[in-house]
Amino acid sequence: MHVDELPLPEQVKIMLKNLGYHKLYPPQEEAVKKGVLEGKSMLITTPTASGKTLIALMCAAKAVLENKKVVYLTPLKALANEKYEEFKSLSLLSKNDGINPSIAISTGDYDVRSDYLKEKDVLVLTNEKFDSMIRQDPSWVERIGLVIFDEIHLLNEDDRGPVIEMLVSHFLSSPNRPQIIALSATVSNYRDIASWINAEIVNMSWRPVKLIEGVYQNGQIIFYDGKRFETIRSDYGPAIDVAYTMLKDGGQVLIFSDNRRNAVSLAEKATVVSSKFLTESETEKLKEVYEKIMFSEEFTEVSKKLANCVLKGSAFHHAGLPHSHRTTIEDAFREGVIKILCATPTLAAGVNLPARTVIINSLSRYHSEWGQSEEISILEYKQLCGRAGRPKYDDIGYAITILRSGDTETFFERYVKGSPEPIYSKLINTEILRNHLLAVIVSFPGLSEKEIYSFFSRTLFGYQRRPQFVISKIRSALSYLKLNGLIEEEGGRYISTEFGKNISFLYISTSTGIHYKTILEEYRHLRNKSLVDEEDLILVSAVTSEDFQPKFYLRNSDYTELGHIVENKLGPLFSIFTSISSKGFEEVGRSFLSLKEWINEGTENEIYDKFSIEPGDLYRQVESAQWLVHAFTKLSNMFGVKNLQTTSSLLEERLRYGVKNELLELTRLEGIGRVRARILYSHGFKTINDLKKAREQDIAKIPKLGPTLAKKIKEQLSILP
C-alpha cells in the first residue's frame, strides 16, 4: 500500500513523504486494513524495526487534526526523548483553526502539577510521569483521544509493569474511552492482552531485515538453517573470534555481555580486531571522540579505559558510565566509526542502536539477591536478537550466541523456536497492590468496596484472576491502609487521610511513607535532640527506604567510617534503622557514605576510587536520594517537625548540586555548577552580593568562567532584588 492510498488528510500524506515514507511495510498495511486509522484500538506485536512507530505517528497526525489530544507513553526517559524527536514533525501540520499542533515532553517532577501540559496537543511522557499526573488530576484521562503504550510487554516487570497496567485500566474505566494502541516486539499471550484492552490484533513475524540465528561452539558458527563455517581461534575468546569473522563481511558488531566488568574486558580485547577494519577518515573521527571523552568534566579512570578503546574502534556501554559518555558512544556507533560495541543487556531495552551482527556472550545472568545465576528468559533473548540488522543498510542481520555448554539442538528448540514467556499481572504482589489501591482512593475519594473492585476488575490482574481472589487481596490491602493511617472508612466509603494523599502525590511507596512517619514520630518525642545529627538522620532515612535505588552493600573497609557516624550522629535513633531488615545498614551503607562524599564536594573520580561506585550509578543514587529527601521534607512539614523540614530542604539542594552549604547561594545561578561555584568562592566571591559588586571583566578573568558566562551572570544578577 502506498502512502497516497491512505485515508488521511493530504497534508499528513505530504508530511509522511517528506519524512521518507512512501510505501507501507506489511504490518503497517495490516493495521490500516484492520481499522487503526478509523479509531479502533490495536495491539501490534511485530519485530523491532518493522514500522510500529509509523503506525503511531499516522494515528497521532489524524487525531490532532480532529482536535483530539494524544499521549505517547514510554518506559524510559531516553526512549521518551527519542520519540519526542520523531513526533516533532507533527508540529508542521495545520489544524482547522490554522494553528500548528503543539508537542511537549515531560519525564520527571512527579509531585509537581502539570497544568501547563493541558494546552498541548501531543504529549510524550514516561509512564510514571503520566501516572503521577492522574493521581493529582484524574480528569486528565477524559481529555485523551488517543493513547499509545510503547513496550507493552513490560507489563511483565515487577517495577514498571503495575504502572502500565493501572494506566491502561484508567482508560478502560473512562466513559470517554480513547483509542488505545499498544506496541511490542514480543508478546506470546497477545490474544489475552488484546482481549483485556478490547483491541484488534496485528501479530506478524515480518521484519525488514531477515534475521538468521545461530550459535558458536568449538570453533564453529552453526546457524539454525543448517549452514556452518569455521572461525579463527585466538586467545581473546570466542566472542572476539566471532566478531572478527563477521566483520570481514562489513557492518558492525554488538556484543551483549552478562555484566559490566566483562563488557569492559571484552571491549579492551576487541581493539585488536576492530582496529583492523578502520579507514583513515574513521580513525580521524575517532580521535575527536577520544578527546570528547578525555576532556569531559565527568572524567574518571573508567573514562580513560573507554577513550583508549575508542581510539581503536571498540567501546563499552553500561549504566555505570556518565550519561555524556553513553550518548557520545551511541552517536559514534550510529555513525559507523565504532566497529565493536560491548554492552550490558540494558542497551537492548533502551535506545535504538542496531548492528548487522549481535553476539550474545552468555545465556546466564547472576542475581545478587539470590546469590546464584540462571538462564535468561526467552523474552530477553528475543529482545537481544531484535537489535540484529540495520534497516536501509543490511539485507540480513545475524544473532549468534556463544554456547559454552549443552547441545545446539536444545538451544534452537528453546530459544529460536520457543515463544516468549506469557505476560501476567504483577498487581498480585501485596506491596504493589497497596500502593496502587491508595492511589485510586486518592484520585477518586468516596469509593465503596464494590466500586473499588469494579475498577480493579478492569486491570489485567482482574482479567486473569478469579473475582473472589481479587476481592480478598483488595480487602487485605484496605485493612493495611486503614491500620497505618493512610485511609479512613466512613459509611462504607473510603477516603485518604492527609498522610495517604501526600504519599500518593509524592509518588513514594506506602512502606517508605510509613518508614518516614516512624522516624519523624520517634524524633519528635526525643528529649535530647542534640544527640542526633539532623542531616545524617535524613540521609539515612532516605537510603534505607524501600524506594531507594541503586543500593550498594558495605565492604569491610567501610565499617569504621560508618561506625563513627552511627555512634556519634544517630544516637538513640539508630535502633529504628537496624530493625528495617535483618541486613540493617549493610545493604545500603556504601550508598550512604558515597552520598556523604558527594555533598561534601567529592569528585566522581574520588568517589569511584574510594567506593567503587561508577558515575552513572552515582547519578542515579543522587537522583533517587534527592527525590526521597524531597518527600521527607514534605512529610516533616505535614507532621510539624519544622527543624527537620529546614535541614531536609537544604539537604535536597546540596544533593542536587553536590556542594557544601556555603556554595548553595552561588549554585542557584544558571551556568554555575559545583566546580565553578567552588572556584568563585575561593576567589573571594562568596555570595550573590559579592558578584553584584564585582565588575563583569573581573568575573571573566576567573578560571573556567570567561566573558560569555560573566555576561550571563551579570544579566541574571540585574533582575535579582
pLDDT in tens, 81-106: 999 999 999 999 999 888 999 999 99
The predicted structure's pLDDT at residue 582: 38
Q: Do domains 3-203 and 210-416 have the same CATH topology?
A: yes
Q: Quick one: average pLDDT of 503-532? A: 91
Residue 554: CB atoms within 10 Å? 20
Greater confidence (349 vs 18) lies with: 18
Residue 576: CB atoms within 10 Å? 18
Single out the residue of 416, 415, 408, 411 nearest to residue 228, CA to CA.
408
Q: What is the CATH number of domain 3-203?
A: 3.40.50.300
Cα–Cα dist 603/580, whole Å: 31
Give per-residue pLDDT as tens, 325-382: 999 999 999 999 999 999 998 887 777 889 999 999 999 887 666 567 789 999 999 9
CB burial class (10 A; 0-12, 13-18, 19+) of residue 233? exposed
* Cis peptide upstream of residue 550 (ω within 30 degrees of 0): yes
**Do residues 93 and 68 touch, judged by C-beta distance below 8 A?**
no
Single pTM value for the model:
0.92
Single out the residue of 540, 647, 535 nearest to residue 584, CA to CA.
540
Strand, coil or helix: what is 517? helix
Residue 72: CB atoms within 10 Å? 28
Domain regions of the chain by residue span: 3-203, 210-416, 430-506, 510-658, 664-718
Q: Quick one: what percent of the chain has pLDDT higher than 90?
A: 80
Contacting residues for 598 by C-beta, under 8 A, at least 6 apart: 607, 618, 622, 655, 658
pLDDT at residue 302 greater than cutoff 80:
yes
Angle at 342 (CA atoms; ends 337, 345), nearest 5 degrees:
125
Q: How many residues does the chain have?
A: 721
Give per-residue pLDDT as tens, 592-629: 999 999 999 999 989 999 999 999 999 999 999 999 99
pLDDT at residue 510 greater than cutoff 70:
yes
**Do residues 635 and 687 touch, judged by C-beta distance below 8 A?**
no
**Domain covering 510-658, topology:** Sec63 N-terminal domain-like fold (1.10.3380)
Task: Name the pLDDT band for 221 (thresholds 50, 70, 90).
Answer: very high
- Indicate the average pLDDT of the chain: 92
Q: How distant is the alpha carbon of residue 592 from its chain centre? A: 22
- What secondary structure does DSSP assign to 228-259, as a single string? EEE----TT-HHHHHHHHHHTTSS-EEEE-SS
Span of 144-158, 212-226, 359-373, 442-456 with lowest mean pLDDT: 359-373
DSSP code, position 94: -
Helix axes 190-197, 161-173, angle to 10 degrees: 40
Task: Name the pLDDT band for 575 (thresholds 50, 70, 90).
Answer: low
Task: Name the pLDDT band for 580 (thresholds 50, 70, 90).
Answer: very low
Task: Tell me how many helices (H) and strands (E) the chain has.
Answer: 33, 20
Greater confidence (526 vs 287) lies with: 287
pLDDT at residue 465 greater than cutoff 90:
yes
210-416 architecture in CATH? 3-Layer(aba) Sandwich (3.40)
Q: Quick one: average pLDDT of 531-535? A: 86
The CATH class of the 664-718 domain is mainly alpha
Span of 75-79, 347-351, 382-386, 659-663 with lowest mean pLDDT: 347-351
H helices present in 275-371, as ranges: 280-294, 301-311, 323-334
Helix axes 510-524, 498-506, angle to 10 degrees: 120
pLDDT at residue 405 greater than cutoff 90:
no
**Domain covering 430-506, topology:** Arc Repressor Mutant, subunit A (1.10.10)
H or E, element range at 710: helix 706-718
- What's the one-letter identity of residue 40? K
Cα–Cα dist 523/518, whole Å: 9
Task: Name the pLDDT band for 581 (thresholds 50, 70, 90).
Answer: very low
